[in-house]
Amino acid sequence: MKQKVLILGLIMAQFTGLAALAAPAGDTEIGGTYYNKIVQLKDVIADVLPPPAYIIESYLVSLEMLDSLDKGDQAKIAELSKYAGLLKDGDSAKGSPFPGYYERINVWKKDLPSTTPTEKKIKDLMTQLSVEPATQFFKVRDEKFHPLVKAGKLAEATQVLRGEMKPLYDKHRKQIDLLVAAATQEFQATEKLASGKAAKGETAELKVRGAIYTKLMILKDLIADVLPPPKYLIESYLVALEAIDAADAAKTGGDKSKVGQLVQYGKLLANANSSKDPFPGYTERQEYWVSNLPEATLPERNIKELMTKLSHEPAKKFYEVRDSKFVPAVTAGNVADAKKVLREELRPLYDSHRGHIDFLVARANKNYKLLESEVDRMVAK
C-alpha cells in the first residue's frame, strides 16, 4: 500500500497522452487526432483492465476460496479452482478466454527492449524481479493451499495463506509498483523527446507506426498489464476480504490495528483526490471520464455509458453498502455480520460491476483495433 501511495501521483500524468505537443501535428503523427484517440482508448483500458501480469486477482480468488470453504460451498470452490488455474496458465492461443499470467510474461520477455539502462531495469522488473515471488506464490498455492481447501481444512489453509502466500503477494506487489513507476517515467521521457522534435519541426520520427510511436504504445500496454486499475473495484473488494481475515486473526492474537489500516486504505481507494492525496481514487477517475470521454459517435457513446453509468451504478452502491454496513461491522470485530454483508450485498454488486467492466474492456479493445486499421489505411496512402 505504501508503494502505491508513492507512485500513483506520478501515474496521473500519463493519462493525458500527448495532447499538448509543442507544435501542431498531422492526423497521423504523434500528438495528432488519431494518436490522441488511440492513447485515450488505451487509458480507458488501463483504468479498468483486470491486470493479467499482476497477481492481484489470483490472491483475491484465494481469499474467496477460504470464504467458500467457510460456507461449505464445494461447488464454488471447484469453480474458483478452475478459474485460478486459468489466471496462471491460461493460453489464449489454445482457446483460453483470456491470457494467463505466464502468457503475458512470455510476451514481455520477447517484446521488451533492453538496450538502455532504463529499458533493462523495466525488463528486469517485468520478467524477473516481479516474477520470482509470483512463481513462489503459485507454487505454494497449488501444492499446499489448494489441497488443504479441497480437503476441507480451513484452519490449515488459512495459515498457509496468511503465513506464506500473503508475504509473497506483498513482495510481488512491491516490484509491480516499482515497475509501473519506471514505465511511467520512461513514457514521460519519451513524450518529452517527441515534444522536442515536434518543436524543431523534426516530424520524420513522429509518424504513427514509427519508432517513437511504437515505444510509447509498448509502454502503454505494459502499464495496462500491471497497473492496479483505479476505475475497477478489484482492489476495493480485495481489501474488504482482507479486512475480514484481519478481524478474524485479531481474535486469536493478530494485529488489531490491521483492520483499521485496511479500512482507511479502502476509503482512500474510493475517495482519494490527487490534488491533496497521493493518488487518484475511484471517484476522481469517474469524474475525469464523465468530463473527457467523447460521445460524438455510437461506439464512443457505448464506451462512455459503460464507463460512467453501467459499471458505475453498482460501484457506487458497493461503496455505500461498504461504508454504511460493512465497515462498522468489521471495525467492531463482528466478523459474522461483516461476512454476511460481504456475501449477500458486496459480492453481488462487485459481480455486477465486473460484468460491465469485462464488456467495457472488450468494446474498447474492439474500437481500438478498428481505429488502428483506419490509421494503417491512412498511413499507407
pLDDT for the residue numbered 265: 96
Element containing residue 153 per DSSP (H, E) = none
Amino acid at 378: M
Residue partners of 102: CB distance under 8 A and separation at least 6 = 88, 89
Q: Could you count the other beta carbons within 10 Å of the beta carbon of residue 330? A: 27
pLDDT for the residue numbered 28: 57
pLDDT digits (tens, 9 = 90+) for 186-225: 988 988 888 888 778 777 666 776 777 788 888 888 889 9
Length of the chain, please?
A: 381
Element containing residue 324 per DSSP (H, E) = none
Amino acid at 74: Q
pLDDT for the residue numbered 8: 45
Q: Could you count the other beta carbons within 10 Å of the beta carbon of residue 173? A: 21
pLDDT for the residue numbered 216: 83
Per the listing, cell 470452490 goes with 77
From the number of C-beta atoms within 10 Å of its C-beta (0-12, 13-18, 19+), residue 176 rates as buried
Check residue 255 and give left, alpha or beta (phi > 0: left; psi -120 to 50: alpha).
beta
Q: Structural domain boundaries of the chain?
A: 1-7+21-39+51-228, 230-381
Please name which of 185, 176, 184 lies closest in space to residue 127, comparing C-alpha atoms.
176
pLDDT digits (tens, 9 = 90+) for 232-268: 999 999 999 999 999 999 988 888 899 999 999 999 9
What is the maximal distance between C-alpha atoms in the chain? 70
Residue 77 has pLDDT above 50, yes or no: yes
User: What is the Cα–Cα distance from 229 to 44, expressed in whole angstroms?
Assistant: 10
From the number of C-beta atoms within 10 Å of its C-beta (0-12, 13-18, 19+), residue 235 rates as buried
Amino acid at 218: I
User: What is the Cα–Cα distance from 147 to 218, expressed in whole angstroms?
Assistant: 39
pLDDT for the residue numbered 131: 98
Check residue 21 and give left, alpha or beta (phi > 0: left; psi -120 to 50: alpha).
beta
Task: Quote the cell numbers at residue 380.
Answer: 499507407
| First and final C-alpha spacing in the chain | 49
Among 31-35, 152-156, 325-329, the range scoring the smallest mean pLDDT is 31-35
Please name which of 63, 59, 146 lies closest in space to residue 101, comparing C-alpha atoms.
59
User: What is the Cα–Cα distance from 178 to 186, expressed in whole angstroms?
Assistant: 12
Among 182-186, 299-303, 370-374, the range scoring the smallest mean pLDDT is 370-374
Task: Quote the cell numbers at residue 160.
Answer: 498457509
pLDDT digits (tens, 9 = 90+) for 6-44: 444 444 444 444 444 444 455 556 667 767 787 888 888
Per the listing, cell 521488451 goes with 112
How far is residue 206 from each of residues 26, 42, 210, 370, 381, measured CA to CA in Å?
10, 19, 6, 21, 17
